[in-house]
Structure 1
Amino acid sequence: MKILYCDCGAGIAGDMTVAALLELGVPLVHLRDQLANLPLPLSSYSIDAARVTRRGMVATHFQVRVEEHQPHRHYTDISGMIEASSLAAGVKERAQRIFFRLAEAEARVHGVEIGHVHFHEVGGVDSIVDIVGTAIALDYLGVTELHASSLPLGSGWVETAHGRLPVPAPATAELLKGMPVHGDTGLGERVTPTGAAILAALATGFGAPPAMRVLGVGCGAGSRDFSDVPNILRLVLGEKDGTLHHDDVIVAETHIDDMNPEIFGFLMERLLERGALDVAFAPLQMKKNRPGIRLTIISSPSHLDELARMVLTETTAAGIRYYPARRLKLERTIEERETSLGQVRVKVFRDGAGLLRVAPEYEECRRLAQERGLPLQEVYRIIERETVAS
């Protein structure tokens, strides 16, 4: 299991991310070859990397040189371009997730539907190369988890296609929701929309580095020099240390004693659909001796605002409290296994030593019980016995 930790002391941008990944061992020629799979004219851009110094620290600077006039693209154009490419499925999936988070943020900022989002700077070839290049490099290095430090907000103004905007830019501020930030920096844009989108889409934890054995360190330089810190993104590549995975989550709770109980089932479904990792209800005895329900939600930090807003909209709750928590967890995958009842989807749990257990999916067992006329518990027993043996 490969972990990538983003040490964002000076911030993060798309070109800085690609540069640091190149330092970690991704060959520039591999990046060029893979980017050629995009349906972009090869004559419209070129890429290069060079060693530079930022306030006494040596790092790699990644540069995309483009033709003078580039079209501004809609989100659907870019999504279709990635989907139509011959890139690996994992590369496509990561790149699509990053662009979707960007489109989501732009849609909120400009009050339009996601399909109508019109990218300006981010729609340029250089930004497409930065995002798809990041996905290519992560795939090459075999990164399975991405974590990041807290992020500097920056200050001042930035010039964009929409004119002069405050730092962080509106789309960046939208993407930073749920991430830990601080104001201990000087003037300048420290986190770009592309850098924020990479973390919003791919990071599973924020804060201190997770436990790991360090394999390498890569430093990517930004284009500008800052007066307070070296403008460098440092990426630490490592392997899992131990048999359990660590990640950061938010636990959010509220107490409800005056709501139609039929709404709770609907609420749970909606929360899980919108990204909650888990939802639970527990009975309470509340003030004036009224019976009530404690609603508990576990989510990633980036989903907190959306899920809290849903609770306050869909229930009679007037507030919701939350606190950060750390989890230790097993590696879990959904896999298809062949059994005497046919192909079934199962949850597979592993630790560093190998397979621990297999858990059949309820919907699969329910379907097979109905199709075969078998008791549900018998279907569970057959699948558990045959999938563990395989």
Structure 2
Amino acid sequence: MRTLYLDCFSGISGNMFVGMMLQNDISLEGLKETFSRLPVSGYSLICEPVVKQGIQAQYYDVVLDGERAKHEHCCPDEHEYRREHHHEHVHEHPHAHGHHHHVHVHRGLREIKEIIEKADLSAAVKAKSCAVFETLAIAEGKVHGLPPEEVHFHEVGAVDCILDIVGAVWALEESGIEQIGVSPLHTGSGFIQCAHGLMPVPAPATAEILTGLPFYGTAIDGELVTPTGAALVKTLAAYAGPRPEDFVHERIIYGAGTKDLEIPNVLRGYIGEYKMF
């Protein structure tokens, strides 16, 4: 089976995952065309090769209109999972004449699923993308004592997270990846500043998602695993643990994070044929 093994020695985020897949000869034009099928707009994509401590990796990110470039490793705050220290909270809201006005919009799981299910995508991409959002909603609900359907996402419901998740799932299908394994996840350590004050790393929602997965921290300070990254591996990986010794890879791909750390801030993927985990 066509297998992708994720080596998360510097954590994982949604945009690191998509960047990594773009290094696997996934066409950026194909990704843009796929995104054009989603009923969202008001964004542009960054996609460029970068070098992280001598390792060439692909950097990918979504930039909302009027927004400065973001950083993916930052504090999640309950419904504001990504990058909120780096930009105003802007969210897509349908406006008259087909234009979009960026205002605060809270989206529930049902609304996000509708956005995905309305799109002209394969049934598998829709189902897996919705399942990743369900993983996020279940974890968020558990932290706040709410059933998943009552969780209202703030930043997670924003355009960038929808694109990260759908983009990751689509790229896996496009690459013919049939199964995923994931290493123990390096979460970082310390505390991160959130709206409610200092939160430990991994942040509460991320820690919930990581239930059942091996993870560890080191002296590297900060958050390396985002909820989106954790939800992708929790939902899609069939195996979590050390790289199997008999897994012979044919190719290695790298997706870059934004920050420069003491270690190369990249997500490494090994691709090869392997029996079912």
TM-score for the superposition, normalised by structure 1: 0.59
- Could you give the per-residue CA deviations for residues 76-128 of structure 1, whole angstroms, max 9, x where no partner exists? 11111111111111111110111111111001011111111111222221111
1:170 paired residue number: 204
Give the conservation status (yes or no) of the 8 Å contact 1:121–1:161.
no
Is 2:107 the counterpart of 1:73?
Answer: yes
RCO higher in structure (CA 8 A, sep ≥6): 2
Tell me the SS of whatever aligns to 2:211: coil
2:2 paired residue number: 2
2:164 paired residue number: 130
Q: How does 1:237-316 map to 2 (within 5 A)?
A: 237-240=271-274, 244-245=275-276, 247=277
Tell me the SS of whatever aligns to 1:106: helix
Q: How much has 1:212 moved relative to structure 2?
A: 3.7
Tell me the SS of whatever aligns to 1:238: strand
Which of 60, 63, 66 is the equivalent residue of 1:62? Answer: 60
Deviates more, 1:195-204 or 1:45-54: 45-54
Q: How much has 1:213 moved relative to structure 2?
A: 4.0
Q: Identity percentage over the alignment?
A: 41
2:228 paired residue number: 194
Give the conservation status (yes or no) of the 8 Å contact 1:19–1:220.
yes
The amino acid of 2:184's aligned partner reads: S
Unaligned runs of 5+ in 1: 248-390
2:187 paired residue number: 153
Provide closer, same or farther for how the CA distance between residues 198 and 161 of structure 1 changes in structure 2, counting only shifts above 3 A: farther
Separation in 2 of the partners of 1:109 and 1:226?
29
Tell me the SS of whatever aligns to 1:86: coil
1:226 paired residue number: 261
Rg bigger for which structure? 1
Bigger share in helix? 1
1:209 paired residue number: 243
- Could you give the per-residue CA deviations for residues 268-323 of structure 1, whole angstroms, max 9, x where no partner exists? xxxxxxxxxxxxxxxxxxxxxxxxxxxxxxxxxxxxxxxxxxxxxxxxxxxxxxxx
The amino acid of 2:8's aligned partner reads: C
Q: How much has 1:180 moved relative to structure 2?
A: 0.9
1:320 paired residue number: none
Q: How much has 1:153 moved relative to structure 2?
A: 2.7
Which of 50, 53, 58 is the equivalent residue of 2:51? Answer: 53
Provide closer, same or farther for how the CA distance between residues 159 and 134 of structure 1 changes in structure 2, counting only shifts above 3 A: farther
Which 4+ stretches in 1 moved above 6 angstroms? none
The amino acid of 2:261's aligned partner reads: F
Give the conservation status (yes or no) of the 8 Å contact 2:189–2:218.
no
Give the conservation status (yes or no) of the 8 Å contact 1:24–1:237.
no
Tell me the SS of whatever aligns to 1:61: strand
Q: How much has 1:162 moved relative to structure 2?
A: 5.3
Provide closer, same or farther for how the CA distance between residues 98 and 152 of structure 1 changes in structure 2, counting only shifts above 3 A: same
TM-score for the superposition, normalised by structure 2: 0.82
Unaligned runs of 5+ in 2: 67-89, 92-104
Provide closer, same or farther for how the CA distance between residues 165 and 121 of structure 1 changes in structure 2, counting only shifts above 3 A: farther
1:144 paired residue number: 178
Tell me the SS of whatever aligns to 1:214: coil
